[in-house]
A and B are shown apart, each in its own frame.
Chain A
């Protein structure tokens, strides 16, 4: 199983993260506008190894992970024009695509659950240009903020998001009460939200 690059989480936020987020957003825009294959290749080279890492942490074999990576990237190619920056950064959008596909593999019905939310978001969210800019940088801010929260909170968020472990199972694995798992996760999340509010 691939190991998490914990030291990367500890790195200070660099301007190049913002530049990178911008670069990815432009590439996605070119895919949406003109089906630009080179822009797609840029997105593939950035996201495919990251999605594969995520999937292997969740227990997929290399082949299974590559199958799903291909599906996720083809989905990105197909849905590029449906991406709306009001909903967050490109990385966050790709995260939701990969999440939904993985769940879809487990149970068809469940992924469609998230699709019902996609439709809602697109219809109802109103955001100013300033909001959109702030949201594009949210995941960069999250990365920075993750380095600032206590290890016991960060560990639980990583177990949920990266390793895909349900809260009840986290409690069993770490031999702590479910209530403690939840309260640590809440604390970590509330801290992250506060930091996100500061940038917007």
Chain B
């Protein structure tokens, strides 16, 4: 698939190092599975982990742990690659939805032509994941609280001042960018959006002041 909008390198590094918030990780992984360019970039970002693992340092492992590991090998069967059921959705999202198909989603209506679904996240997540369904010509509703936001188009397309985003494209935005996506004519646009959980923000006051003082 030839995509026009990719992950930010900082997001790839967070995914590779394992420090990405859960919801953003799902959106990033979903994009990577559709995008050979980002798949290659992720592999190279993981090589940084390999390099650092090899060369940062060592901590002696006890003889007991070594002996226990060697002794347990006989009971361990070789792993086989799991066959994954074919889904219309990227595997990372399919997993997050627990195998529910897009047409089975229990949408919550937000405005005429616009609906939203909160994808369940593990307890204690610092991020939230939402599916948005936006009718042709409709604007995306307010869905975040500022902060890091990662949007993947699953179906249809939308446009904003950064251009047109089609299925597989990702908008990787920090909180300094305001965008008002409008679904293109012809088809309902379905997006997967990762946002930071509201608790990540220090105070209502900071949020109110944000547009004025630019923090």
Contacts and interface: CB of A to CB of B under 8 A. Distances in A.
Interaction A to B: yes
Interface of A: 2-5, 8-9, 35, 37, 40-41, 44-45, 47-54, 56-57, 62, 65-66, 69-70, 73-74, 77-82, 87-89, 91-96, 98-100, 102-103, 107-110, 112-117, 119-122, 124-125, 135, 138-143, 146, 157-158, 160-162, 164-168, 178-179, 181-183, 185-186, 189-190, 192-193, 196
B186 interface: no
Contacts of B21: 166
B61 A192 contact: no
Given A121-B43, A167-B10, A98 B81 contact: no
Nearest to B62: A66
A111 B191 CA distance: 23
Interface in B51-106: 51-62, 65-66, 68-70, 72-73, 76-82, 84, 90-92, 94-96
Q: What is the interface of chain B mostly: helix, strand, loop, or mixed?
A: helix
From A56, A93, A185, name the one whose CB has the most chain B CB atoms within 10 angstroms.
A185
A87 B47 CA distance: 9
Contact of A160 (B17, B39, B81, B122): B17
A160 B91 contact: no
A197 B11 CA distance: 20
Given A88-B46, A113-B26, A143-B51, A56 B59 contact: yes
B111 interface: no
B138 interface: no
Interface residues on B, range: 35 or more
A15 to B, nearest CB: 15
Interface stretch (B29-37, B150-158, B160-168, B205-213): B29-37
B9 A70 contact: no
B31 to A, nearest CB: 11
A118 to B, nearest CB: 8
Contacts of A120: 32-33, 39, 91
Nearest to B30: A116
Interface of B: 8-10, 12-14, 16-22, 25-26, 29, 32-33, 36, 39, 41-62, 65-66, 68-70, 72-73, 76-82, 84, 90-92, 94-96, 122, 124, 148, 174, 176, 200
A74 to B, nearest CB: 6
A162 B58 CA distance: 12
Contacts of A192: 44, 48
Nearest to A178: B174
Given A51-B53, A74-B69, A140-B51, A96 B58 contact: no
Given A37-B73, A142-B48, A110 B65 contact: no
12 contacts: A44-B70, A50-B56, A52-B58, A65-B59, A70-B68, A94-B53, A100-B18, A113-B29, A116-B92, A116-B95, A160-B17, A167-B10
B122 A164 contact: no
A110 B19 CA distance: 11
A31 to B, nearest CB: 10
Contact of B122 (A5, A99, A107, A117): A107
A53 B32 contact: no
A109 B25 CA distance: 11
Nearest to B68: A70
Contacts of A181: 10
A157 B43 CA distance: 16
A48 B25 contact: no
